[in-house]
Copies of this chain bind each other. A is one copy, B any other.
């Protein structure tokens, strides 16, 4: 009954096997390993993007911050949802890597930017003079921080607004696979065909030890990305261990299988919660996370039974009146079992 985060999970055996296999003999460092060539080819193939530049880094924050620094000069602003990871959970990494750019926070239900709100903000910035930060980039997150998913049409609607103002688009895809499974579209349809310029293609939350790909569909800024990556201390010498993991992740659609499993667990969990009188969903559960609310006493019971998850937002407390509803975040991963879910539902549904 562990639902704190998908990053608390181990890595699947296929990834460990790939590491073992890669761990033989000498290999040229810094991305010159043969596995990286295969990774690049495979990602280009999956995304139907034969010209794309592909790089690996070890953290999602690095993928996001380096990507945005390539898209947004220091005197510009990144438009993102108020609850985006780049705003809330990266300790100003985008500001650091960009050299002091701003983030302009866009409202919208369930962590999805409202196109109208984006239109208004970007339109305002488009009239900026020399005293004001300039329009820089749009960053959208799919799946979102609230476990919801932009459809390809919704991504396109965001990108169309950006493109009408000549603004490039970044997608934070830390949970890209989970979004893709839900949307039922191709990787290309979710990204460049809808107008996305750069993708943070997540691996870590979906099963790797710490590997994310950055996909620049337009390779014009590839060399700049490489220099920023090195200068940001994110270029690995023993790069083969990143490549090997990513290769295993892509092989036989492992990445999709892992996300399918995580999403299915979350769907089972949200269905179960909805069936309880005591609980209700806070956000639609469209990917691998469930945001729901139920009385404090039930949280205490779950806690006592060993269930692990976060009250969300974090300023709530288990101390207080029994009946007060408290909201929680429950994240499923590739290794969440139906038994886990059912055991948890049993506890809170008693």
* Residues of chain A whose beta carbon lies under 8 Å from any beta carbon of chain B: 2, 4-5, 7-11, 16, 19-20, 23-30, 57-62, 65-66, 73-75, 77, 88-93, 95-103, 124, 127, 130-134, 204-205, 209-210, 224, 226-228, 230-238, 241, 308, 314-315
Distance from A241 Cβ to chain B, minimum over Cβ atoms (Å): 4
What are 23 A-B residue pairs whose CB atoms fall within 8 Å in the complex? A4-B26, A5-B237, A7-B238, A16-B20, A58-B210, A61-B230, A61-B233, A65-B233, A66-B233, A75-B231, A77-B92, A91-B132, A92-B101, A93-B231, A95-B95, A98-B100, A100-B100, A100-B231, A127-B314, A130-B235, A204-B237, A205-B237, A233-B234
Report which of B96, B102, B124, B236 forms a contact with A74, defined as CB distance below 8 A. Answer: B96
Q: A131-B89, A132-B88 are in contact. Are A75 and B4 (CB under 8 A)?
A: no
In the A-B complex, the 5 residue pairs with the closest CB atoms: A62-B233, A7-B237, A95-B100, A61-B233, A99-B99
Q: Which residue of B lies closest to A123 (CB)?
A: B315
Q: Are A75 and B100 in contact (CB under 8 A)?
A: no
Q: Are A75 and B91 in contact (CB under 8 A)?
A: yes
Query: How distant is the Cα of A16 from the Cα of B238 in the complex, in angstroms?
Result: 14
Report which of B19, B29, B60, B88 forms a contact with A8, defined as CB distance below 8 A. Answer: B29
Report which of B90, B102, B103, B205 forms a contact with A233, defined as CB distance below 8 A. Answer: B90
Q: Are B230 and A233 in contact (CB under 8 A)?
A: no
Q: Are B59 and A237 in contact (CB under 8 A)?
A: yes
Query: How distant is the Cα of A102 from the Cα of B104 in the complex, in angstroms?
Result: 11
